[in-house]
Amino acid sequence: MIALVTLSLLLAGPDDQVGRLLYECQELARATNLGVSGAYVYRIRTGSHGEVSTVSLVSDTVHSRVMDRCLRHGLLGVVMQRKSATFNVKLEVPRAVRQHAVWLNNVPMIRTIAKDVSVRPLVYRENTGMDVYPLAVAKLNAGGELPPHFHVSSGMFLYVLDGSVKLSWQHRRGSKGVKSRVLKKGASAWIPAGAVHSLRSDSDVVVAIFFEKSNDFNWLRGISSPGTRILPPPSVPMTGPAPSLEAGRLVKIHAPVVALGGRRVKRRKLISRGTLTLELVYAPKGRDVKIAGGPFTAFVLSGGGSITADSDESEVMRGGSGIAALRLLKFRSVTRNIPFSAVVLHRGRLSLSVVPARRAGSGRRK
């Protein structure tokens, strides 16, 4: 009989390898906005020194592919007390507080990248396994500021989710060569690679940030990174890649868009850059939605239900969720009184269609 070892995130000590792994993987799952709770049972085989050599899933009541991948990868190489043994490990994942949404003021962020500025990564290469357009939510508390900086190889789209923020950017040399605009809720902007820009807010504000390329998303580990360069003081010479004044002249701003409504599916283009387009999509309440023509990354503004991407397993999603797909995304509503709306960054053509939501206990659509 194979022994069962039970480990809980609540009981794990700070020096416990598996406890730390559980915590980190749950944070990763929460960052993708998945309501994770339940338990995993893995069958583990250890070597002569106690190192984990194989990991296989026995049972799963959490149903988060993101967390399962994280745990399996992290368990390999962990040193256990049992040597040259095969046994089952049950990893209990308690329900965390406030993991049901991503944006607004009652949601904790993941990382602080500047004074009074924090971010919550949603879609990026490490948690999707795909080279798609990364997405994060950034929150600036009152008085918060991202200092003047530029991204070396990737442009970015901003969409203001809540509040208003002052965007400044450099378009010619000298202090008089700086333009500024206040972006209110529903406004959007395109900032090319190389364009020096900064953000500042006098009140709490939340923005969604879409990146053009995944390789520049390491700025989430701190505002200063190889792909993101902070401008030094005027007395200090710039080393490494230089910013581009030409890029600063290509910054685009789109005025706030009034929330879409009505009984029909609607789309509103916000900003286009080459073949990339940021747009707002809407479907009336009580409808299921199909979006085709990826690759694309979407931030769900409202609606609750399950999302299936590229005919894979479905995940629970709601307002504040981020999702990436290569070809196809289907949203099945479970909140009949809330319309579905999302901000979508895509390349090329995108088709949006809706069908009446399936009634409970019925295999037919109305």
Per-residue pLDDT tens over the stretch 136-156: 888 888 999 988 888 888 899
Residue 314 banded pLDDT, cuts 50, 70, 90 = low
pLDDT of residue 58: 92
For range 230-257, the mean pLDDT: 85
Q: Are residues 21 and 76 in the same domain?
A: yes
Whole-model pTM: value is 0.69
From 93, 119, 143, give the residue that closes a domain.
93
pLDDT of residue 300: 85
232 is a domain residue: yes
Q: Are residues 42 and 78 in the same domain?
A: yes
Q: Are residues 350 and 285 in the same domain?
A: yes
Answer whether residue 89 shows pLDDT above 80: yes
CATH code of the domain containing 62: 3.30.1150
Q: Are residues 144 and 235 in the same domain?
A: yes
For range 178-206, the mean pLDDT: 93
Answer whether residue 316 shows pLDDT above 70: no
The secondary element (H helix, E strand) that includes residue 29 is helix 17-31
Higher pLDDT, 217 or 288: 288
Which range of residues forms the domain containing residue 325?
266-356
**Pick from 359, 360, 354, 299: which is nearest to 331 by CA?**
354
Q: Are residues 128 and 250 in the same domain?
A: yes
Q: Are residues 235 and 326 in the same domain?
A: no
Weakest-pLDDT range from 109-123, 158-172, 240-254: 109-123
pLDDT of residue 255: 92
Q: Are residues 120 and 250 in the same domain?
A: yes
From 198, 227, 254, give the residue that closes a domain.
254
| 8 A C-beta contact, residue 26 and residue 35 | no
Residue 226 banded pLDDT, cuts 50, 70, 90 = low
Answer whether residue 135 shows pLDDT above 90: no
pLDDT of residue 327: 82
Residue 225 banded pLDDT, cuts 50, 70, 90 = low
